[in-house]
Structure 1
Amino acid sequence: MAATTNENVEVREIDYQKGRGLFSNKAFKKEDIIFEEEPLVCAQFVWNKFYHYTACEYCLRSLETAEEMGRRLTENSSLILPYPECCGVNVADFAVCKQCQAVYCNEECLKQAWTEYHQVLCMGSSCSDSEHPLNKLQEIWRNIHMPPESSSIMLVSRMVAMVKQAKDRPTILNAFTQFSKATENEETGFAHKLLGKQFEEQLELLRQMTKEALYEDEIQQWFTPEGFKSLFALIGRNSQGIGSSSISVWVQNCDKLDIDETERQNIDEFIDQLYEDLDRVSADFLNCEGTGLYQLQSLCNHSCTPNVEVTFPHGNHRLALTALQDIPPGEELCISYLDECTQERSRHSRQRILRENYLFQCICPKCLSQADDPDLTSEEEEEMDEGDEGVS
C-alpha cells in the first residue's frame, strides 16, 4: 500500500472545520501535474454496470473498444471510427476470474483484485443467482438510489472485503480511519442527504443485507446502525468520482497523430460530429463511472474557485491532480466538489448542495464575497434546487 506522502505537497492542520489540507511544496505552472495517485479502493457504480458500461473490475478501465462504445452510445450500429489503431483497448490482454467470470483488463488487475478483496466477494457459479446476498444487496441499492449515483454499496462491500482478506488488518483499518468523519456535524446539524429520515428504512435494509453477506467480528462496529451510517458519511465526504472512456482515449491518441492538415481537419470534424451525436443520444452518461477513496486527493479541501482539478489521463482509476493556474509554494491546493455548471449557481444553491453531500458550510473566498447575496437568484434555479432533493 502506497504511503500518503509526496514530495510536491505537504499536509497541514488548518482549523476545526476544515481539519487538514494539502499545500504545495514548490511552484507549479498552469497545467502542471502535481501528483498522480491510485485509490485505496474503488468500485464501478451499480447502475452504470447494470446498463452495460463494461469496465475492468479492478481499475475501471473501459473494456469496450472505442468503436463498440461509440455504436452503443450513439445507437448507430454502423458507426466506423477511423484510425482504429488509436483505440487503447487490447482484448487479447483481458483476464477472467475462473470462478465467477469477472473480467479484468489484464492479468495484473486480476491478481491485484484477488489479493486485495475478490476472494471474499467472488460469487463463483452463483453470479446469476438473484437470491445470492451480494446480488440482493445490489438490487436493493438500485431500488433506493437512481442514477446518477454519488456513492456505491459495492465500495462499502470492497472496504469490508479488504479488511476480511488483509494479512495486516491494523494497517488497512488505519488507512480507512484517515477518511473517518462524523456522520453529523454537531454544531450545525448537517446530515448527509442519504442519511435523512426519509431513507431510514432503506438504509436499515442495506445494513441488514450487508451484514448477512459480509459480517466480520473485527469490524462489527461497521455493521451497527450508527456505524453503517458513518460509512456512508465517510464515502460522501471523501470519495472521488471516477470516469473512464474508450472514446476519450481514442480521441487523445488521434490528437497525437502525425498527419497532414487535410487529414487533421477531417478527423477533427468527425470527432466534433461524434460528440454531437453522443450528446444527443446519451447526454451526460458517456463514461464508465465509479467511485474511489484516494489517500492524498481526499485531503484537498473544496473551493468554489479551485486552483487544481482531478483528471484521469490514463483511462483508468489512476488520477492526476493538475494545476488550473500558476501556484506559488505554500498555497493550499483546493479542488471543487461541484461541477462547472453548479459552480456558477448562487451561493445559496452551492451551500445547500455542499451541506447535503459533504457536511460542511463553505467559507471559500467566493462564498464569503457573496455572503450578502439573496438566497435565490432566479425561479429557474429554485426549481433546479427542488429537483436535487432526491438521492442523486
Structure 2
Amino acid sequence: MMAGYEVRITNGKKGKGLFAKKIFNEGDVILEEDPLVSCQFAWNVAYRYLACDHCMKPLETPEHNVRRLAAKPDIALPYADHFEEELMTVTSCDQCRILYCSEDCKEKAKINYHRLLCYDQTDAGHPIHILLEAWKQMHYPPETTNIMLLVRILASIEQHPDPAAAANTVKQFCHRTVNEDAELMHKLLGDQFKDQLATLRDLTASVINEESIQEFLTPEGFCSLMALLGTNGQGIGTSPLAQWVNSVTELAMSDDERQQMDLFIDKLYKDVENEAGQFLNTEGSGLFKLQSACNHSCAPNAESSFPYGNHRIQLKAVKTIMPGDEICISYLDECSLQRSRHSRQKELAENYLFLCDCERCVSESWQPDVTSEEEMSDEEFDTDD
C-alpha cells in the first residue's frame, strides 16, 4: 500500500517536515513505526520497573504493578486474568540475563545493538555501569532521556551491515549549528553539569569506541548527539495499570457497575500517586525516523500515542488533513498549549530554540508579551535576586 505521507524539505529553519499525500479524516491512523532505538530511563529502571529491554513492554501484570506501586499487597484487580498469559513468552539473554518480552525482541536487540553492549549486570566496575551511575547523578527525575539511548545509537551503527549508511541516517536528525547544539546540551544537563560533557564523552568512549563511530566521539560530534537526544527523543510511556483500565473501560457493564468501577479506579490511582509519586509508568524515550520529521504547531492536526503498550508509536489525525498539508504535532503538553502565545513561545524557545510561527501564533500576535498574573510573577521572580 502506498504511504499517504512524505517527508520533504520545508521553508525556513525547520528543515524537514511530514506532509500528507491524501485526505486523512479525524481519527485516521497516519502511520505506525518502531523506533531506530529506544531505552527505559535510568532512574525508572532503578525504581524496579520491569520492562522488555528492547520494546519497553511491561513485564509485570497490572495486579503486581499496582500492588508494588501502592505498597498494598492485598489489592485484587477484577477482570485481570488474561494479563498473566501475556507474560508466558518472557525470555532473557543467554549471557547477561537481561529480560525481553519475547524471542522476537531478544533477536531484534541482538541484531541491532545488544551484541556490543551485553555485559554482566552485577559487575559494578563495568564501563556501562559506571556511565549509568554518572548519568543518574547528572540527570535526576523527572528524566527526559537516557545516555544509554545514545550508546545504543552508536552500537547500532557499528553492528549495521553498512555502518556508513547507518551513520548517515543518524546525521539526518542533526541539522543545527555548533552553538545551538551546545545550548541544547546545556539545557538537557542543566547548568551545574554542563561542564561535565567531556566526562560523559570519555565514559561513553570507554563503553564503545569503534572506528565507524569516531566522528560522534569528537567534542563536536558528541555534543550534537546529545542535542539530538534532547530535541528528537520521543518520550515513551507504558503502564500495566493503564492497559488494565483501558480493557475494563471497554467491558459491558450496568450504570451502577460502571460507577462502582470508576470509583475503584479513582482510588487505585490515588493510592499509587500517594506512594509512588511521579513514578507511575514505565518511562523512556526513543528515536523515530518518520515521527521525528513532524514539526510543531500550537494547533496540531495530529497526535502521537502508544496503543500497543510498547515502543511502537501511532500517529493519528485529530482533524481533517488535506493533500499537501503539513502534518504537525504539539511539542508542548496539553496544559502548556492552553497558555498564552507568549508563554508557549518562551517554552519552545528554551527547549527547542525556535519561535513558533504556526497559524495560531500568527493569529494571536496581537497579544501582549505578558498575558497572565502567573507569567508576571514568574518574571518578577527571575529578576528579584
TM > 0.5: yes
Residue 361 (structure 1) aligns with: 355
Instruction: Say yes or no: does 1:222 pair with 2:196.
Output: no
Alpha-carbon distance, 1:99 to partner: 1.2
Does the 8 A contact of 2:164 with 2:212 survive in 1?
no
TM-score, L = length of structure 2: 0.91
Secondary structure at 2:193 match in 1: helix
Secondary structure at 2:326 match in 1: coil
Residue 164 (structure 2) aligns with: 170
Q: 1:252 aligns with which of 246, 251, 269?
A: 246
1-structure distance, mates of 2:318, 2:127: 45
Alpha-carbon distance, 1:280 to partner: 3.9
Q: Summarize the Cα distance change of 1:88–1:257 in structure 2 as closer, same or farther, 3 Å threshold.
A: farther
Does the 8 A contact of 1:86 with 1:253 survive in 2?
no
Name which of structure 1's ranges 252-261 and 24-33 shifts more when overlaid on structure 2.
Answer: 252-261
- Structure 2 counterpart of 1:298, one-letter code: S
Any residues of structure 2 matched to 1:1-392 within 5 Å, and which? 7-87=3-83, 90-124=86-120, 127-184=121-178, 191-192=184-185, 193-194=187-188, 198-378=192-372, 380-381=374-375
2-structure distance, mates of 1:383, 1:96: 52
Q: Summarize the Cα distance change of 1:182–1:309 in structure 2 as closer, same or farther, 3 Å threshold.
A: same
Does the 8 A contact of 1:237 with 1:359 survive in 2?
no
Name which of structure 1's ranges 270-279 and 56-65 shifts more when overlaid on structure 2.
Answer: 270-279
Name which of structure 1's ranges 193-202 and 291-300 shifts more when overlaid on structure 2.
Answer: 193-202
- Structure 2 counterpart of 1:95, one-letter code: T
Please list the CA deviations of residues 226-281 of structure 1 after superposition, one character each: whole Å capped at 9, or x if unmatched.
Answer: 11100011122211111101111112222233455544443333223323333444
- Structure 1 counterpart of 2:91, one-letter code: A
Q: Which runs of 5+ in 2 are unaligned?
A: none
Does the 8 A contact of 2:112 with 2:159 survive in 1?
yes
Does the 8 A contact of 2:182 with 2:227 survive in 1?
no
2-structure distance, mates of 1:384, 1:132: 44
Does the 8 A contact of 2:53 with 2:98 survive in 1?
yes
- Structure 2 counterpart of 1:91, one-letter code: L
Secondary structure at 1:305 match in 2: coil
What do you get for the CA RMSD once the two structures are aligned?
2.6
- Structure 2 counterpart of 1:16, one-letter code: G
Alpha-carbon distance, 1:71 to partner: 1.4
2-structure distance, mates of 1:167, 1:300: 28
Does the 8 A contact of 2:139 with 2:189 survive in 1?
no
2-structure distance, mates of 1:227, 1:189: 11
Q: Summarize the Cα distance change of 1:376–1:203 in structure 2 as closer, same or farther, 3 Å threshold.
A: farther
> Identity, % of aligned pairs?
47
Does the 8 A contact of 2:138 with 2:189 survive in 1?
no
Q: Summarize the Cα distance change of 1:264–1:198 in structure 2 as closer, same or farther, 3 Å threshold.
A: closer
Q: Summarize the Cα distance change of 1:369–1:109 in structure 2 as closer, same or farther, 3 Å threshold.
A: same
Q: Summarize the Cα distance change of 1:151–1:257 in structure 2 as closer, same or farther, 3 Å threshold.
A: same
2-structure distance, mates of 1:128, 1:76: 29
Secondary structure at 2:157 match in 1: helix
Does the 8 A contact of 2:184 with 2:230 survive in 1?
no
1-structure distance, mates of 2:41, 2:88: 25
